[in-house]
Amino acid sequence: MAWNDTVKKKPKDTRGTLVKLFSYMGKYKFAFIGIIALSLVSNVLGLLGPSYAGAAINEAAAGIGMVDFSRVMYYAYRMLAVYVLSSALAIVISVMMTRVSRRISENMRQDVFEKLLRMPVGFFDRNQAGDIISRVSYDIDVIGTCIATDATQILTSIVTVVGSLVMMVVISPLLSLTALITIPIAIGYTVWMKKITQPLYSKRSKAYGKLNGFVEEMFSGQKTIQAYAYEEKVEDRFDKINYDAADIYREAEHHGCTIGPTVNVVNNLGLALVAIFGAFLYMYKAIELGQISAFVLYSRKFSGPINEIANIMNEIYSALSAAERVFELLASEEEVADTEGAIELENAHGDVEMKNVSFGYLPDKTILHNLSLKADAGKLIAIVGPTGAGKTTIINLLMRFYDVDSGAVLVDEKDVRDYRRRSLRGAYAMVLQDTWVFNGTIFDNIAYGKENATREEVISVAKAAHIHSFIMRLPQGYDTIISEDGGNISKGQKQLLTIARAMLYDSRILILDEATSNVDTNTERRIQKAMRELMKDKTCFVIAHRLSTIKGADRILVANHGDVIEQGTHEQLMENKGFYYSLYRAQFE
């Protein structure tokens, strides 16, 4: 099952998600202990305020001419002091939580990024880049915001609710019974709404991932869209995806936003009950006016946090859905670990062989069938054939981006699975048809694969790749900054840069997968001649559609439908007048 299929399921493991979140929070347990301690002090101070207010009211209710204003002011000043101190501590708590949440988000994003680096190539083949980026950025931001704001609110609310309830019972146990009527209603409604809103927030996160994936694809293919005048159809597709995302967002927020107001109505009902029963108790001298005032203030403190928790429950559900998406990624199956006892591939000689290899990207669809081929060290091997013949699949298996279903791939007469994967790939230099350059100088892009490469080495390979003269015409030469994805240079120039990078890389085996498809034929011939000089005693695999460019290969492998059906030199294959002969003639007729 594809990994992105799993995100379509409704969130089911809320407890497991919370456990994993707490494992991240546990790294900062001392900070949280400090925050909890400060929160307790802040809330205890805040809980003293209503008692001072009640005492001041009792003093003021003594009657005309009997009021001791010094006592009234005494309680008023105390009430002011505790509220000011409580607010100051609340600010400190908020700052601490913001810093801690930022660290947690940083750690989580680092773990996700490192996880992605350990994922197999097939993972990226199956999943949209935009959806992956959405998890790294948007989902983790939602989690961090929840920890910074909602977690603090939950923490302080719990202390306030418990403290207020204790003070209410102390003032009047009878009046406190009113809470037994409203609290179950509020909690029951909130739990019921959770079952409705949390799946909606999961759908919302998935919809944003789909939206991000579509936007990323359209931006990367902007030139093609304009060339085919496809703007209106792309806009229509975006409108549909955008509408779906907005519709899901509206539905989720619609249900989520009803929680707070509904719970607020229940809490106001509780205040009405307090007023009614308090009036009866006051009439029968069972409670003083100041106690009723203090009880009302405590009941507001008691119901206020419940209302606030209800208001932020939609945010908490959203964060839980986002966290579940992130943890799904972190729990995804990584690239198969190196076998026990795997060895380093050092000083590779360059002999490569495939023995009776069968492979398919999907279990029920085999692409290569019992394939066998041999490439001796230092030879130039060309792989040709029609589209879908399995040429790129052969390269994926050589690099061990995928493992064979049956048979074996050998390097220096040893199964590649017996080598450490990193050292195996280090024996290859690879240039693809889809070039990759990054935001940085031209020097950095060429020297990417070789640590501590000198300026002279970079210039030497640039000359061999026939790009030195172009570089020298740029304003800063080798220090010219290439924009993101090489937007300020041509596709052919990007390809020459990646070829120079491969030349500089100290490897025993070179793979060129249509690597010169974006340069002219004369330049391609010169590059190949230069590469043969630079790649002496090294094995070179070339996938090419232009058969005229591989006429000088030591051996040509002709693939079709997952099998090598012919092999030999260009002259031998032309003499046989088989499949290769037909391909070659078709290109020049």
DSSP string, 497-560: HHHHHHHHS--SEEEEESTTTTS-HHHHHHHHHHHHHHTTTSEEEEE-S-GGGGTT-SEEEEEE
Residue 356 phi, psi dihedral angles, 5° rounding? 45, 50
CA gap 242, 207 in Å, rounded? 9
Confidence at residue 527, expressed as pLDDT on a 0 to 100 scale: 67
Which band of pLDDT confidence, cut at 50, 70 and 90, is reported for residue 1?
A: very low
Reply yes or no on whether the pLDDT at 193 is more than 70. Answer: yes
Q: Where in the chain is the domain with CATH 1.20.1560.10?
A: 14-331
Mean of pLDDT values over 143-157: 79
Reply yes or no on whether the pLDDT at 35 is more than 60. Answer: yes
Task: Encode pLDDT of 363-406 as tens digits.
Answer: 788 888 888 888 888 888 888 888 777 788 888 888 888 889 99
Please return the burial class of 282, using the count of CB atoms within 10 Å of its CB with bins 0-12, 13-18 and 19+.
Answer: middle
What residue spans of 118-229 are helical by DSSP H? 121-126, 129-134, 140-145, 151-171, 173-176, 179-220, 222-227
Which band of pLDDT confidence, cut at 50, 70 and 90, is reported for residue 3?
A: very low
Reply yes or no on whether the pLDDT at 2 is more than 50. Answer: no
CA gap 250, 242 in Å, rounded? 12
Task: Encode pLDDT of 450-496 as tens digits.
Answer: 778 889 988 988 888 888 888 898 888 889 888 766 566 777 778 78
Question: What are 545's two structure tokens?
Answer: 């559609």
Reply yes or no on whether the pLDDT at 139 is more than 70. Answer: yes
CA gap 519, 492 in Å, rounded? 5
Helix (H/G/I), strand (E/B), else coil: 567? strand
Confidence at residue 8, expressed as pLDDT on a 0 to 100 scale: 36
What's the order of all strands across the beta sheet hosting 352-359? 368-375, 352-359, 406-411, 414-415
* CA-based radius of gyration for the chain: 35
CATH number corresponding to 14-331: 1.20.1560.10
Measure the CA angle with vertex 585, ends 581 and 587; round to 5°: 125
Q: Do residues 241 and 265 touch, judged by C-beta distance below 8 A?
A: no
CA gap 148, 222 in Å, rounded? 39
Mean of pLDDT values over 113-133: 81
Residue 510 phi, psi dihedral angles, 5° rounding? -115, 135
Please return the burial class of 497, using the count of CB atoms within 10 Å of its CB with bins 0-12, 13-18 and 19+.
Answer: buried
Lowest mean pLDDT among 1-5, 44-48, 543-547: 1-5
Confidence at residue 409, expressed as pLDDT on a 0 to 100 scale: 92
Lowest mean pLDDT among 2-11, 300-309, 350-359, 462-471: 2-11
Residue written as token pair 């790129």: 392
pTM: 0.65
- Which residue in 378, 379, 372, 374 sits closest to 349, CA to CA? 378
Reply yes or no on whether the pLDDT at 74 is more than 50. Answer: yes
In SS3 terms, 317-368 reads as: HHHHHHHHHHHHHHCCCCCCCCCCCCECCCCCCCCEEEEEEEECCECCECCE
CA gap 583, 380 in Å, rounded? 20
Reply yes or no on whether the pLDDT at 207 is more than 60. Answer: yes
Task: Encode pLDDT of 312-340 as tens digits.
Answer: 776 777 788 888 888 888 888 888 888 88
Reply yes or no on whether the pLDDT at 10 is more than 50. Answer: no
Instruction: Count CB neighbours of 382 within 10 A.
Output: 25
Positive or negative, the Cα torsion across 230, 236, 242, 244? negative
Confidence at residue 526, expressed as pLDDT on a 0 to 100 scale: 64
Mean of pLDDT values over 151-171: 78
User: Which tops the pLDDT comparison, 171 or 478?
Assistant: 478
Q: Where in the chain is the domain with CATH 3.40.50.300?
A: 345-427+509-589
Reply yes or no on whether the pLDDT at 63 is more than 60. Answer: no
Mean of pLDDT values over 227-235: 75
The enclosing H or E element of 428 equals strand 428-432
Reply yes or no on whether the pLDDT at 6 is more than 60. Answer: no
Average pLDDT of the chain to the nearest whole number = 79
Does the domain at 345-427+509-589 match CATH 3.40.50.720? Answer given as: no
Residue written as token pair 């693809």: 432
Task: Encode pLDDT of 525-581 as tens digits.
Answer: 666 666 666 666 778 888 877 777 778 788 888 888 777 888 888 899 889 888 888
Instruction: Count CB neighbours of 359 within 10 A.
Output: 23
